Amino acid sequence: MTREYGHYINGALVAGTSGRFSDIYNPATGAIQAKVALATIDELNAAVDAAAKAQPAWAATNPQRRARVMMKFGALINEHMDELAELVSMEHGKTLPDARGDVQRGLEVVEVCMGAPHLLKGEFTDNGGPGIDLYSMRQPLGVVAGIAPFNFPAMIPLWEMAPALVCGNAMILKPSERVPSTSFRLAELLKEAGLPDGVLQVVNGDKETVDAILDNDTIQAIGFVGSTPIAQYIYGRAASNGKRAQCFGGAKNHMIIMPDADLDKAADALIGAGFGAAGERCMAVSVAVPVGQKTADTLTEKLVARIEKLKVGAYTEGEDIDYGPVITAAAKSRILGLIDSGVEQGAKLVVDGRGFSLEGFENGFFVGPCLFDNVTADMTIYKEEIFGPVLCQVRAESYEEALKLVMDNAYGNGTAIYTADGDTARDFAHRVNVGMVGINFPIPVPLSYFTFGGWKKSSFGDLNQYGPDAFRFYTKTKTVTARWFSGIKEGGEFNFKAMD
């Protein structure tokens, strides 16, 4: 019998009542392995009401005690690392080492949240006027929501829930209906760590549930990660309903390779950044921009030699697998369609992975690695986010031409440059209009005590994920101006005239 998932409400797993379900596939086999209930508007609103009842007591818990819950939570994540990674791989299809990285990068945000008492401190000015003191305090918003994508079943929910909860909010977490089980397990571990029931609710659903989140008056803020069209839709609807929103969308991340770069290191970086996790990362490098024909020709040779050695397979086949399947049959079909369009529009398909098939997993959603050369900016494979194991090479004659290509692109999530020249690297870092920049570093995801966020059509909202920005996003600032009048006691009586 196929397992059915419901929701996590008030500290317990409960069945859904809508009668509507979404299939959860094993991406390696193509078989349905479970079903997840899709919440009704009434179910979502009931979960929000329960969260609103639990939130005041949690907000009244002092920041140090909330941080201790995060300390215990972090320890439990470490203790259950392999179990969580297995859940990620089972539903997403990524390799076990990649899945552990997924959990680890989320854990690092939990670790930063252990310092919440410091990050939640306000400001104080003594004697800002005659006898007047001013101070500010950060207070939780109330009930907030997180809408997570399929490609990081552990990391993104942890990026959303840990700062929101430690700030004193209650949260409605809506994981991707394709990969819900990791969020359920994280919720159980949070309860074990001491989080009161009702403070975190995990509600599964589709667009109907998302719209209910956007329209619920109790929910004060929404964090979202997904595609740009949906990010823009959520941001606009949330804003029109008076909610805060941080919405992170698609990407088209470029790596410029200068003639003076170590091309072996650059090629190694492109293999990991372009094909790791089957390219299903918003920080994947999907466009290589070698400067100069000699650089491009040499880099192509090195990339082909490495691509031919990539091992594609199911996570159950061992830890030496380089990447696994994509998430669904529809995703595979879309990726193959984009590859076909690249060929039709004149790009040179140097490595063709369209016919890839894995013995014993013929029905899995696997796409072999593909390398395009001579891609131009007007081609569909350049303009659209492929989100698959496809690397496009756009040749540039000069550094300025390469830089302009990056700056003219609609997306601005991440970018990188490989060079031995410090002046070029410094110029690139200062001029490029992209939110996260790598210098001889392929995937420039900042450490968790900085902050994560792109520019242009990759991000909607003023504040980024994790780091100090998360504490600003999940709290509101109240500023107090105070003056105390001193009475003069005469004969044991309080002299109110002294206050005049």
N residues, the chain: 500
E-strand spans in 41-160? 124-129, 132-140, 143-147
Q: What is the mean pLDDT of each run of 10 residues along the chain (500 residues)?
A: 91 95 97 96 96 98 97 98 97 97 98 96 92 95 98 97 98 97 98 98 97 97 96 97 96 98 98 97 96 98 98 95 97 98 98 95 97 98 97 98 98 97 98 98 94 95 93 97 75 49
Check residue 257 and give its pLDDT: 98
Encoding tokens for residue 452?
């994560």
Of 408, 439, 470, the position where a domain reaches its end is: 439
Residues 6+ apart with CB under 8 A from 280: 94, 151, 326, 327, 331, 387, 388
Residue 272 sits in the same domain as residue 244: no
Check residue 498 and give its pLDDT: 43
Distance CA 114, CA 148 (A): 22
Mode of pairing for the β-strands spanning 7-9 and 12-14: antiparallel
Domain of 66 in residue numbering reads as: 3-249+458-481
Residue 260 sits in the same domain as residue 372: yes
The answer to whether position 493 is within a domain reads no
Whether 403 contacts 255, CB under 8 Å = no
Residue 169 sits in the same domain as residue 126: yes
Residue 140 sits in the same domain as residue 234: yes
Residue 228 sits in the same domain as residue 292: no
Residue 245 sits in the same domain as residue 257: no
Residue 95 sits in the same domain as residue 70: yes
Distance CA 456, CA 454 (A): 7
Distance CA 32, CA 177 (A): 13
Residue 337 sits in the same domain as residue 397: yes
Q: Which strand ranges, in their side-by-side order, compose the sheet holding 244-248?
A: 12-14, 7-9, 200-202, 170-174, 143-147, 219-225, 244-248, 459-460
SS3 259: coil
Whether 406 contacts 286, CB under 8 Å = no
Whichever domain contains 194, its CATH number is 3.40.605.10
Residue 392 sits in the same domain as residue 300: yes
Angle between helices 81-92 and 96-113 (to 10 degrees): 120
Residue type, 321: I
SS3 29: coil
Whichever domain contains 423, its CATH number is 3.40.309.10
The answer to whether position 445 is within a domain reads no
Q: Which residues are bridge partners to 134 per DSSP?
A: 125, 481
The answer to whether position 8 is within a domain reads yes
Active-site entry in 113, 167, 247, 282: 282
Q: What's the pTM value of the predicted model, to 2 decimals?
A: 0.94
Check residue 486 and give its pLDDT: 73
CA distances from residue 243 to 199, 310, 473 in whole angstroms, order as listed: 19, 45, 11
The answer to whether position 486 is within a domain reads no
Residue 420 sits in the same domain as residue 470: no
The answer to whether position 450 is within a domain reads no
The answer to whether position 305 is within a domain reads yes
Whether 477 contacts 138, CB under 8 Å = yes
Whether 140 contacts 54, CB under 8 Å = no
Question: Active-site residue 282, yes or no?
Answer: yes
CA distances from residue 47 to 54, 83, 222, 480 in whole angstroms, order as listed: 11, 27, 15, 34
Residue 266 sits in the same domain as residue 245: no
The tally of domains found in the chain comes to 2
What's the farthest any 2 CA atoms get from each other in the chain?
99
Residue 94 sits in the same domain as residue 195: yes
The answer to whether position 491 is within a domain reads no
Whether 435 contacts 454, CB under 8 Å = yes
The answer to whether position 490 is within a domain reads no
